[in-house]
């Protein structure tokens, strides 16, 4: 089930750390990604409205993917981040990565999501400047 923006956590450093520290459920992280990519769920028709989603995404994912559970979706979101913004986790949050005992694909995908959010914010600020 999709939620609306007011129901989702904001894109703040505190929320990003909560995602990295596994304090926000995977479903919520997915919903945040879906929302900021432009996916909207129409309760009346019980379908996804993709009119605000870039064609790059709708071609591969007419319905929003499970970014935390899907390696291909995570690869696509990673590739959508420009090279100059690939290190925003480190540069903006000071995140040094996970230790070996913490590292697993799910947590790596959560870190990728946070980096995408940081890129999204940076690109949004640049386009509004």
Q: Which domains does the chain have, with CATH numbers?
A: 5-128 (1.10.418.90)
The CA distance from 39 to 42, in Å, is 10
The CA distance from 83 to 106, in Å, is 23
pLDDT at 125: 87
pLDDT at 6: 62
Report residues of the chain scoring pLDDT below 70: 1-6
The CA distance from 58 to 28, in Å, is 21
pLDDT at 5: 59
- This prediction has a pTM of 0.91
Q: Which helix (H) or strand (E) element contains residue 42?
A: strand 40-42
pLDDT at 7: 87
Helix axes 105-128 and 71-79, enclosed angle (nearest 10): 30
pLDDT at 52: 95
The CA distance from 39 to 17, in Å, is 24
pLDDT at 1: 45
């Amino acid at each position: 089930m999709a939620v609306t923006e007011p129901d989702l956590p904001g894109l703040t450093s505190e929320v990003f750390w909560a995602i990295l520290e596994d304090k926000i459920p995977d479903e919520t992280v997915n919903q945040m990604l879906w929302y900021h990519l432009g996916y909207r769920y129409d309760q009346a028709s019980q379908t996804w409205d993709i009119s605000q989603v870039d064609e790059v995404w709708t071609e591969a994912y007419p319905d929003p993917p499970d970014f935390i559970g899907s390696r291909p979706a995570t690869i696509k979101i990673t590739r959508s981040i420009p090279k100059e913004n690939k290190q925003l986790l480190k540069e903006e949050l000071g995140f040094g990565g996970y230790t070996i005992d913490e590292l697993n694909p799910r947590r790596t995908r959560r870190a990728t999501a946070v980096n995408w959010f940081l890129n999204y914010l940076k690109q949004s600020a640049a386009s509004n400047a």
